[in-house]
Chains A and B, each alone.
Chain A
Amino acid sequence: MVKEEKEIANRPDNTAFTQQRLPAWQPMLSAGIVIPGFVLIGLAFIGIGVALFVTSRSITVLEIDYTGIEKDSACFKCSNADVKNCVCNLVFSIDSLFEGPVFFYYGLSNYFQNYRKYAASRDDEQLSGDLDAFTAPSDSCSPYDYNSNDKPIVPCGAIANSMFNDTFVLYRVVNGANKLVPLDGKGIAWWTDYNVKFRNPSVTPLKNAFNNTVKPIFWPKPAYQLDASDPANNGFINQDFLVWMRRAALPDFRKLYRRITDGEYAKGLPAGNYSLTIAYNYPVESFDGRKKVVFSNVSWMGGKNEFLGIAYLVVGSLCVLMSIVMLIVYAKFKFPEED
Chain B
Amino acid sequence: MLRRTLNRWLGRDERRVDSRNICVGHRSSSNNEAFIPPKFCDNRIVSSKYTVWNFLPKNLFEQFRRIANFYFLIIFLVQVIVDTPTSPVTSGLPLFFVITVTAIKQGYEDWLRHKADNEVNKYPVTVLEQGRRVRKESEKIKVGDVLEVDEDETFPCDLILLQSSREDDTCFVTTASLDGESNHKTHYTVPDTEKDLESLNATIECEQPQPDLYKFVGRMHIYKADQEPAVRSLGPENLLLKGSTLKNTQTICGVAIYTGMETKMALNYQGKSQKRSAVEKSINAFLLVYLCILVSKALVCTTLKYVWQNKPGQDEPWYNEKTQREKDTNLYLKMFTDFLSFMVLFNFIIPVSMYVTVEMQKFLGSFFITWDKDFFDPEIKEGALVNTSDLNEELGQVEYVFTDKTGTLTQNNMEFIECCIDGFQYKYQDAGTDLDGFCVTDGPANKVQHKAGREKEELFLRALCLCHTVQVKESPEQGQGQRDGLMDHVDGLGVDGEGLHPPPQEQRGFIASSPDEVALVKGAMRYGFTFLGFESKTMKILTRDNDVERYELLHVLNFDPVRRRMSVIVRSKSGDTLLFCKGADSSIFPRVRQEEVERIRMNVERNATEGYRTLCVAYKYLNAEEYAQADAGLREARLALQDREEKLMAVYNQVETGMSLIGATAVEDRLQEEAAETMEALQGAGMKVWVLTGDKMETAKSTCYACRLFQRNTELLELTVRTLEDGGRRREERLHELLVEYHKKAVQDAPPVKAGVTRAWSSANHDYGFIIDGATLSMVLNSSSESNSSRYKNLFLQICQNCTSVLCCRMAPLQKAQIVKMVKNSKGSPITLSIGDGANDVSMILEAHVGIGIKGKEGRQAVRNSDYAIPKLKHLKKLLLAHGHLYYVRIAHLVQYFFYKNLCFILPQFLYQFFCGYSQQPLYDAAYLTMYNICFTSMPILAYSLLEQHICMEVLLDNATLYRGIAKNGMLRWGPFFYWTLLGVFHGLLFFFGVRYLFGNPALQDNGQVFGNWSYGTIVFTVLVFTVTLKLALDTRHWTWINHFVIWGSLAFYVFFSFFWGGIIWPFLKQQRLYFVFANMLSSVSAWLVIILLILLSLLPEILLVVFRKPRGPHAGQITPVTPLTYKHLKDRQ
Chain A residues engaging chain B, CB cutoff 8 angstroms: 6-7, 10-14, 18-20, 22-31, 34, 41, 45, 48, 52, 101, 103, 105, 111-122, 124-125, 128, 138, 140, 142-144, 158, 161-162, 187-190, 192-193, 196-197, 218, 243, 246-251, 253-256, 259, 283, 286-288, 296, 298-305, 307-308, 311-312, 315, 318-319, 322, 326, 329, 333, 335-337
Contact = CB atoms under 8 A, between A and B. Distances in A.
A20 B949 contact: yes
A197 B999 contact: no
Interface string B289-328: 0000000000000000000000101100111111110000
Contact of B1093 (A31, A315, A322): A315
A87 B452 CA distance: 132
25 contacts: A10-B376, A11-B383, A13-B371, A20-B372, A22-B1041, A45-B1093, A52-B1089, A113-B1013, A115-B916, A119-B921, A140-B1070, A144-B321, A188-B1009, A196-B1065, A197-B1072, A197-B1075, A246-B1012, A247-B1013, A249-B915, A249-B1016, A253-B1010, A283-B318, A302-B1006, A335-B1110, A337-B1128
Interface stretch (B202-210, B454-462, B1100-1108): B1100-1108
B548 interface: no
A248 B381 contact: no
A249 B1108 contact: no
B947 interface: yes
B1049 interface: no
A197 B922 CA distance: 22
A26 B1009 contact: no
Contact of A14 (B368, B373, B1116): B373
Given A116-B916, A308-B1090, A298 B373 contact: no
A158 B1096 contact: no
Contacts of A27: 1037, 1039
Contacts of A117: 320, 322, 919
A200 B917 CA distance: 33
Interface stretch (B119-127, B252-260, B598-606, B1079-1087): B1079-1087
B1107 A11 contact: no
Given A118-B320, A247-B1012, A112 B1002 contact: no
A207 B563 CA distance: 116
> Which of B381, B922, B1043, B1116 has the most CB atoms of chain A within a 10 A radius of its CB?
B381
Interface in B993-1048: 994, 996-1013, 1015-1017, 1037-1044
A327 to B, nearest CB: 11
Given A112-B320, A247-B1012, A283-B318, A29 B917 contact: no
B947 A22 contact: yes
A34 B85 CA distance: 44
B313 A288 contact: yes
B373 A250 contact: no
Interface string B491-523: 000000000000000000000000000000000
A298 B1006 contact: yes
B1002 A336 contact: no
A19 B917 CA distance: 56
A339 to B, nearest CB: 9
B1133 to A, nearest CB: 9
B1000 A305 contact: yes
Contacts of A112: 317, 320, 916-917, 919
Given A10-B381, A12-B370, A308-B1089, 4 more contacts: A10-B376, A18-B371, A116-B85, A249-B1012
Contacts of A128: 1065, 1072
A23 B1040 CA distance: 6
A10 B1065 contact: no
Contacts of A190: 1009, 1076, 1080
B919 A303 contact: no
Contact of A114 (B916, B1041, B1042): B916
Nearest to B1088: A301
A137 B609 CA distance: 93
Contact of A301 (B324, B367, B1006, B1075): B1006
User: Which 7 interchain pairs have the tightest Cβ spacing?
Assistant: A162-B319, A303-B1003, A249-B1016, A287-B313, A18-B371, A249-B1013, A116-B919
Given A10-B376, A322-B1104, A19 B371 contact: yes
A122 B1071 contact: yes
A335 B1040 CA distance: 28
A336 B1070 contact: no
Contacts of B1013: 113-114, 119, 247-250
A283 B996 CA distance: 27
Interface string B1039-1073: 11111100000000000000000000100011110
B370 A143 contact: no
B313 A26 contact: no
B996 A250 contact: yes
A120 B919 CA distance: 11
A31 B1107 contact: yes
A297 B324 CA distance: 45
A167 to B, nearest CB: 18
B1001 A303 contact: yes
Nearest to B321: A143
A24 B1104 CA distance: 25
A48 B1093 CA distance: 10
B1096 A22 contact: no
A12 B383 contact: yes
Given A11-B383, A12-B371, A303 B1007 contact: no
Nearest to A326: B1107
A299 B1003 CA distance: 10
Nearest to B1069: A124
B1002 A249 contact: yes
Nearest to A191: B1076
B317 A287 contact: yes
Interface in B1115-1134: 1116-1117, 1125, 1128-1129, 1131-1132
B1096 A315 contact: yes
Contacts of A158: 319-321
A142 B324 CA distance: 9
B544 to A, nearest CB: 41
A12 to B, nearest CB: 5
Given A248-B1002, A286-B317, A336-B1111, A311 B376 contact: no
A302 B1001 CA distance: 9
Contacts of B754: none
A25 B1039 CA distance: 5
B1009 A189 contact: yes
Given A115-B921, A116-B919, A188-B1009, A287 B314 contact: yes
Contact of A22 (B1002, B1040, B1108, B1117): B1040
Nearest to A121: B320
B129 interface: no
B920 interface: yes
Given A24-B949, A29-B1106, A188-B1009, A336 B1117 contact: yes
B382 interface: yes
> Which of B317, B318, B370, B1041 has the most CB atoms of chain A within a 10 A radius of its CB?
B317
Contact of A259 (B1008, B1039, B1106, B1117): B1008
A13 B1040 CA distance: 19
B503 to A, nearest CB: 22
Contacts of A25: 1039, 1044
Contacts of A48: 1089
A279 to B, nearest CB: 18
Contacts of B828: none
A23 to B, nearest CB: 7
Contacts of B947: 20, 22
B931 interface: no
A122 to B, nearest CB: 7
Given A119-B1013, A248-B1013, A319-B1100, A7 B317 contact: no
B1112 interface: yes
> Which of A31, A188, A249, A288 has the most CB atoms of chain B within a 10 A radius of its CB?
A249
A256 B1128 contact: no
